[in-house]
Structure 1
Amino acid sequence: MKHFRLLVFGNAISGYGSYLNMVALNVFVYQVTGSAFAAGLFMAVRLLTSVAAGFVSGRLVSRFDRKALMIGSDLVRSVMLLVLIPLPDTARLPVLFALAVAMGACTTLHQVALRSSVPEIVGPEKRLKANGLLVTGRSLAMIAGFASSGLVIAQFGYTAAFALNGVTFLVSAVILALLPIRTRSAVAPGASGDTGDTGAAESGDGAVARKEDDAGRAAGRWVSWALLRSLPVMAAMMAVRGADGLGSSSHNVALPVFSDALDPANPATFMSQFLATWAIGHIVAQQATSRYADRTGHSFGEKAFAVGAVVMSVAFILAFAGLPTVPAVAVALIAGMADGFTEIVYVTKLQETPDAQRGQMFGISAAVENGGFGLGMILCSLTLEFYSPIAVVGLFHGVAIAFCLGFLAFLARRGRRGTPAAEPPGSEPSAPGEAVSEPAPVAAAPGAAGVEAAAAERAATGPGDAATESGAARAAKGDEA
């Protein structure tokens, strides 16, 4: 865990840069153009790029070295920001929209690569604790980034803010480059159908290896969706996270409006108090989940995830109910704890996916979460023109609660029926009496060559052998196919 703690430190530094530029870049665009439309367009380009990058990042993370991708994403962001420094304000504007694309894409790529690498870096048994450390580091970075952005811009100007931001990404890249960590499973390249001399040597026939790789690549664009169809519980959890993103956008959009209504003379007071308390709740959640995992050796399941999401949404709604100071701080703390808890549990469950498909699953998840948040930002901004903050937050977090309750009903129905999840392509049917749980996806993408190999193996098996073959052996062959 020593190396991973250094990784968390570097990730927190780059996170600080992300939150700093979130303020600095948006305010700078508005100041240079004097147009709220230009500032909104800048934010929209960045967000839409993040959504699109989720699908692309999944494939990149599955095929290339994740550590190199994280380093590259940090370096691209650093170079783009440092390029702005010598330019005059009027020449910076066109570059800023290119920067919006780079920021959206590289931030998503870095997040997908890092989260999918955690089981390989710390081991499967320490995933929960590692994810908690990442959440804590990001929460501290958020506090520091938002708190210092105004001071940095006011005291030193935008050029200093861009320079500091670029340095944070550079420091993160250097830390990553120096860490002796493995971010991929030792069998992932072969399992995912990567080409190379090794695969040809193992098969003894380079042409066959290339044919298999072409078939796997042709099916690659559909493999993530096939995985979701074969893992209905995980697909439902992703839907809940998308609804959570929709709800989260409501309180982010409504918070400045609500703060101004509470105290027009000092609108930042409630907003800063709320965000700081929420971030502290994240840290408390990390400590609590880590201690639970250390003491019991167990992690939390899907039901705990859904219940935590309900508690989070209810707390966010209550935060806009005009409560006195002490209850308001309490609900903000609960909202932060529940938010941190659900994120840790969700990421830990997603990391149960085999390494060959884990990157694609995280890519889809990033697209769903960013898409829900982006859609909510648009809808909430329009809805706030006609309704109060409590009504808007209640509506959108109410949608998230409805998704959570539907997910709990889905889990209960599966438990009563004892219906196993759909099997991934290429696996044998579950034996009667097996536990009802989410099956592990196959490690290789389905392709024509893989199907032919499975058929050849079944043909080679004699009738007598097939009659006496145990259920465990059949399951093993299904996994190999």
Structure 2
Amino acid sequence: MSQDVQQGLSTRNARLIVFARGVSDFGAFLNMVALSTYVYWLSQSVVFVSVFLACRVTGGIVASLFGIPFFRRFAGRGTLAGLDLARALLLVPLLVLIPAHQLSVLPFIAFGIGLCNSLFAIGLNSQLPTWVALEQRVDTNAWITSAAATGAVFGSLLSGLLIATGGFEAVFAVNIGTYGVAACLILPLRALYSVAMAEHRSFAAEWHALTKGLRGAPVLAAMLLISMLDTLGSAAHNVGWPVLSQYISPDTAKTVMGYLLAVWACGKFVGARLASAVLKGRGLHAMERLFMLGVALMSSGFILTFQQTQLWLALLLVVWAGLGDGISEVALVSRAQSEPDRLRLPLFSLLTLIQMAGFGVGMLVVGPFYLTWTPAQVIILFHGLPLSALLIMTVWIGARAARQVESTPP
């Protein structure tokens, strides 16, 4: 195969992946909003909604734990398409069962969707280097992040419209269709770049190899730690959106929240595109520095946003947070994909475990703080954690670089 033909197929693969991820994330946010609302409508219980969300997060955690042996054995486009079809099939009982029988199966549906969502993300991110050329990888990651942000906004906004016009059944039918479309976009992918096939190892051996690899890449290990702390901040601002919206405008809180989320997503879209432009042709150190910049922008942006009581100021500052979110996500994923083939799958499994566990724990931990603290104080605490870790990381990297200079012979 000539290099030009291979490059053209790589571009085609990249476009298919971006559209598939965008449609898939649109479906994920569509059903997250619709199912949470539906569970509350059926049960009239906040506790049952909490159980439902906990089952979804648990599914994601379980996926991160057995994602390594799963994709060692079942790699490729067929598995990813199958995960999309599985998500579609999980929603079918909500169209055929009567509401009285649905409450008992909803926790299992939540677990299954959380499991498939995380497996899909692990499989797609870890295998992307087999489908997309090295020089196109950062740009593809940027477009994936942009597509995910766009899908999140449209999924969140359209779920309410669909519920109002066609009922919950219309949302579930559209959701099943989105997963079917995503599967159809994944199937034409063609493997272009060979990777070193890792031998089948035990769970302990996989994690031991990853630990050893991270000891050789301490900056990447620090990035993972900061990412874990960032999920606590993410949980804090996700819980805090309705509270902040109520502070800004009690009469139109839902509309204000929609504006904030939409503008944040626009900022994330732009941030991802900026990351692509900055990282073009750059190496690992550029990815690491850009990640640090992105986290600093994101956390400081959310801290400043939650200090506001005027909508226009909050919208201006939430763009700042979105920019940082897009930049840090593209830099982190691109840096992780630069690791050797044998480490990439366990690395993305660990990243998913960190994000799902951190977000799940964060949702439980931050709630009580909102009972006695203002939203501004809660966000300063929880987004202050990644900023503090970032400051320590910056000082440590500077000291490490100074030691290397001193040890270098003149």
Scaled by the length of structure 2, the TM-score of the pair is 0.91
Pairing partner for 1:154 from 155, 164, 168: 164
Task: Return the alpha-carbon distance in structure 2 between the equivalents of residues 257 and 329 of structure 1.
Answer: 15
**Shift of residue 326, structure 1, vs aligned partner:** 3.5
Tell me if structure 2 keeps the 8 A contact 1:292–1:298: no
Q: Secondary structure at the match of 1:322?
A: coil
The one-letter amino acid of 1:11's match is R
Measured on the aligned residues, the alpha-carbon RMSD in Å equals: 2.0
Specify every segment of 5 or more residues in structure 1 that has no aligned partner in the other structure, as ranges.
195-214, 420-431, 435-481
Q: Secondary structure at the match of 1:181?
A: coil
Task: Using the TM superposition, name which of 349-358 and 338-347 deviates more.
Answer: 349-358
Find the counterpart in structure 2 of residue 248 from structure 1.
234
Pairing partner for 1:68 from 50, 53, 78: 78
Find the counterpart in structure 1 of residue 4 from structure 2.
none
Pairing partner for 2:34 from 21, 24, 33: 24
Pairing partner for 1:188 from 196, 210, 222: 196
Scaled by the length of structure 1, the TM-score of the pair is 0.78
Q: Name the CA shift for 1:358/1:63 in 2 (closer, same or farther; >3 Å).
A: farther
**Shift of residue 89, structure 1, vs aligned partner:** 0.5
Alignment of 1:47-446 (within 5 A): 47-177=57-187, 179-182=188-191, 186-189=194-197, 192-194=198-200, 219-294=205-280, 300-322=286-308, 324-418=310-404
Task: Return the alpha-carbon distance in structure 1 between the equivalents of residues 227 and 403 of structure 2.
Answer: 25
> For each residue in 1:203-236, what CA deviation from the matched residue of structure 2 results, as whole angstroms up to 9, or x when unmatched?
xxxxxxxxxxxx7777335333333333322111
Tell me if structure 2 keeps the 8 A contact 1:305–1:346: yes
Q: Name the CA shift for 1:101/1:401 in 2 (closer, same or farther; >3 Å).
A: same
**Shift of residue 44, structure 1, vs aligned partner:** 0.9
Task: Return the alpha-carbon distance in structure 1 between the equivalents of residues 13 and 293 of structure 2.
Answer: 33
Tell me if structure 1 keeps the 8 A contact 2:279–2:287: no
The one-letter amino acid of 1:180's match is L
> For each residue in 1:271-299, what CA deviation from the matched residue of structure 2 results, as whole angstroms up to 9, or x when unmatched?
111111111111111222333345x6567
The one-letter amino acid of 1:181's match is R
Q: Secondary structure at the match of 1:80?
A: helix
**Shift of residue 379, structure 1, vs aligned partner:** 1.0
Task: Return the alpha-carbon distance in structure 1 between the equivalents of residues 39 and 189 of structure 2.
Answer: 40
Find the counterpart in structure 1 of residue 7 from structure 2.
none
Task: Return the alpha-carbon distance in structure 2 between the equivalents of residues 3 and 58 of structure 1.
Answer: 23
**Shift of residue 369, structure 1, vs aligned partner:** 1.5
**Shift of residue 308, structure 1, vs aligned partner:** 2.0
> For each residue in 1:123-159, what CA deviation from the matched residue of structure 2 results, as whole angstroms up to 9, or x when unmatched?
2222210100001111110111011011111111111
The one-letter amino acid of 1:382's match is P
Q: Secondary structure at the match of 1:353?
A: coil
Tell me if structure 1 keeps the 8 A contact 2:30–2:175: yes
**Shift of residue 323, structure 1, vs aligned partner:** 5.0
**Shift of residue 270, structure 1, vs aligned partner:** 2.0
Q: Name the CA shift for 1:290/1:221 in 2 (closer, same or farther; >3 Å).
A: closer
Q: Name the CA shift for 1:324/1:267 in 2 (closer, same or farther; >3 Å).
A: closer
The one-letter amino acid of 2:199's match is G
**Shift of residue 310, structure 1, vs aligned partner:** 1.4
The one-letter amino acid of 1:348's match is S
> For each residue in 1:158-190, what CA deviation from the matched residue of structure 2 results, as whole angstroms up to 9, or x when unmatched?
11111111111111111211x13218x52432x
Task: Return the alpha-carbon distance in structure 2 between the equivalents of residues 227 and 293 of structure 1.
Answer: 24
Q: Secondary structure at the match of 1:60?
A: helix
Structure with bigger gyration radius: 1
**Runs of 4+ displaced beyond 6 Å:** 215-218
- Structure with the larger helix share: 2
Tell me if structure 1 keeps the 8 A contact 2:247–2:309: no
Tell me if structure 1 keeps the 8 A contact 2:196–2:342: yes
Q: Name the CA shift for 1:393/1:313 in 2 (closer, same or farther; >3 Å).
A: same
**Shift of residue 19, structure 1, vs aligned partner:** 0.3
Task: Return the alpha-carbon distance in structure 2 between the equivalents of residues 414 and 59 of structure 1.
Answer: 36
Task: Return the alpha-carbon distance in structure 1 between the equivalents of residues 292 and 367 of structure 2.
Answer: 27
Tell me if structure 1 keeps the 8 A contact 2:40–2:46: yes
Tell me if structure 2 keeps the 8 A contact 1:67–1:113: no
Q: Name the CA shift for 1:277/1:417 in 2 (closer, same or farther; >3 Å).
A: same
> For each residue in 1:22-41, what CA deviation from the matched residue of structure 2 results, as whole angstroms up to 9, or x when unmatched?
01111111111111100011
**Shift of residue 394, structure 1, vs aligned partner:** 0.9
Tell me if structure 1 keeps the 8 A contact 2:210–2:347: yes
Tell me if structure 1 keeps the 8 A contact 2:77–2:189: no
Task: Return the alpha-carbon distance in structure 2 between the equivalents of residues 249 and 98 of structure 1.
Answer: 23
Tell me if structure 2 keeps the 8 A contact 1:248–1:373: yes
Task: Return the alpha-carbon distance in structure 2 between the equivalents of residues 94 and 235 of structure 1.
Answer: 41
Q: Name the CA shift for 1:161/1:110 in 2 (closer, same or farther; >3 Å).
A: same
